[in-house]
Amino acid sequence: MTTKTKKTTPVEKKLISLADIVIQAADRSKDPTFQIPIRALSNVSFNERKGLIEMGSKKQERSFFNVGMAKKFMQTVLVADALSELQRADLTTSLREIYYRTKHTIRDSHENTFDTQDESDPVIEDLEVSLAALREELHVRAENSGSIVGPVVFGDDGDRVDCAKLGKGGYSVPSIVEPEYLEIRRCTADFVLLVEKGTQWNRLSEDKFWRRYNCVLLTGNGQPPRGVRRLARRLHEEYKLPVYVLVDNDPWGYYIYSVIKQGSINLAFESQRMAIPKAKFMGLSSADPERYELPRNVGIKLNDKDIARAKELMNYEWFKKPAWQAEIKRMLASGLKYELDALANKDFQYLTKKYLPRKLKEKDWLD
């Protein structure tokens, strides 16, 4: 009986090409060197036409014979080898398991290849951008840290998941949500509401807000992980659903919204597949405390870090719109920031019964 030979995947070929660099350099008695794109503000630009943050062409060299780079070079090769192993076995694994798979003590020394996961995670990101392959395509997943509820049905590993019939806890969003792993079988919602905080998502789910307003409720419990952002993008693209973002009224909430809308600086190479340029900022805005008569005593005084971050945001190209400049200046002038939780000062169900219904009716959002 003939055994079928497994084809080498395009991603595996890219990983093998890194090994080829080392081998070819050794054959020529040269210093093996990788070119790694720089993932920093200095190497990104804002494409106003597309509404996306895009990565530039600046790169840094990572070579083996350079004492300052030798360890990072070795770490890159180790992680690439582990990722190749995943491709050959057609398995997925976690960021944590990659760390342990590649961690060992170098023979005849007390030097570890990796001391903490904070060292291995950035190497994976370096490989993503260098190979133009998303982490999901490298078969690496993060812990599930998002939830979804509403009129949407998924196919997950052959199982039918109806997010309207899972109770108020909803469905845990996987970190890999590409079509080959998660099928969207049906969605009859009118829009997606992406909520920063799990506590507010819980309130909305418990009050069945999604049913009364026929929407999908999605949360990433803070800065949304890739799976949540990618799923929101898929619902927006495949079902033409508007995406509204609900965050705290502070510089960190503003930035979370911008990451969802334009993409992030660190992962600018993924913007084309992750960002949602038409996403709208639903609130909490700096005008809302006055508009909804929130007392000043539920506000929190801006600290030096908040103020510095707000001023930094004002200098980003994607926050240069007059409406956003006015929004941030208003917050700074008030000296206060407000959490979504502060709406409970009015009533426990104020968010679901008053605040959001009025926002939707008046189309009160920022673009």
What's the chain's average pLDDT?
90
The pTM score is 0.84
- Is 355 annotated as catalytic? no
Of these residues, 100, 181, 239, 350, which one is catalytic? 100
Query: pLDDT for 105-145, tens place per residue?
Result: 988 888 889 999 999 999 998 898 888 888 878 888 877 77
Class of domain 146-362: alpha beta
Tell me the average pLDDT across 77-84.
Answer: 92
Measured in whole angstroms, how far is the alpha carbon of residue 151 from the centre of its chain? 23
Q: How is residue 318 annotated by DSSP?
A: G
Q: How many CB atoms lie within 10 A of CB 177?
A: 22
**CB proximity list for 327: less than 8 A, separation 6 or greater:** 254, 285, 286, 287, 366
* Residue scoring higher pLDDT (38 or 148): 148
Which long-range contacts does 198-203 make (Cβ < 8 Å, 24+ apart)? Answer: 198/147, 199/341, 200/246, 200/340, 200/341, 200/351, 201/147, 202/168, 203/348, 203/349, 203/351, 203/352
What's the pLDDT at 56?
84
- Among 148, 140, 146, smallest CA distance to 122 is for 140
Angle between helical axes of 10-27 and 70-89 (0-180°, round to 10): 140
The domains of the chain are located at: 10-31+66-141, 146-362
Peptide bond into 284 cis (omega under 30): yes
What is the C-alpha to C-alpha distance for residues 271 and 50, in angstroms, rounded to an integer?
Answer: 10
Ramachandran area for residue 293 (φ above 0: left; ψ -120 to 50: alpha; else beta): left
As a whole-number percent, the residues of the chain with pLDDT over 70 amount to 98
Q: Is 248 assigned a ligand-binding role in the annotation?
A: yes
What's the pLDDT at 4?
53
pLDDT at 2 over 70: no
Class of domain 10-31+66-141: mainly alpha
What's the pLDDT at 5?
57
Tell me the average pLDDT across 29-48.
Answer: 85
* Residue 1 pLDDT level (bands cut at 50, 70, 90): very low
Angle between helical axes of 304-314 and 322-334 (0-180°, round to 10): 160
Query: pLDDT for 272-299, tens place per residue?
Result: 778 899 999 998 999 999 999 999 999 9
What's the pLDDT at 216?
97
What's the pLDDT at 145?
76
* Residue scoring higher pLDDT (301 or 265): 301
Query: pLDDT for 188-214, tens place per residue?
Result: 999 999 999 999 999 999 999 999 999
What's the pLDDT at 38?
85
- Among 38, 61, 225, smallest CA distance to 122 is for 38
Residue with tokens 């997010």: 163
Residue with tokens 């190979």: 131
Query: pLDDT for 323-359, tens place per residue?
Result: 999 999 999 999 999 999 999 999 999 999 999 999 9
Which long-range contacts does 16-23 make (Cβ < 8 Å, 24+ apart)? Answer: 16/84, 18/76, 18/77, 18/80, 19/77, 19/80, 19/81, 19/84, 22/64, 22/77
Edge to edge, what strands does the sheet with 159-162 contain? 159-162, 152-156, 182-187
Identity of the highest mean pLDDT range in 53-57, 87-91, 147-151: 147-151
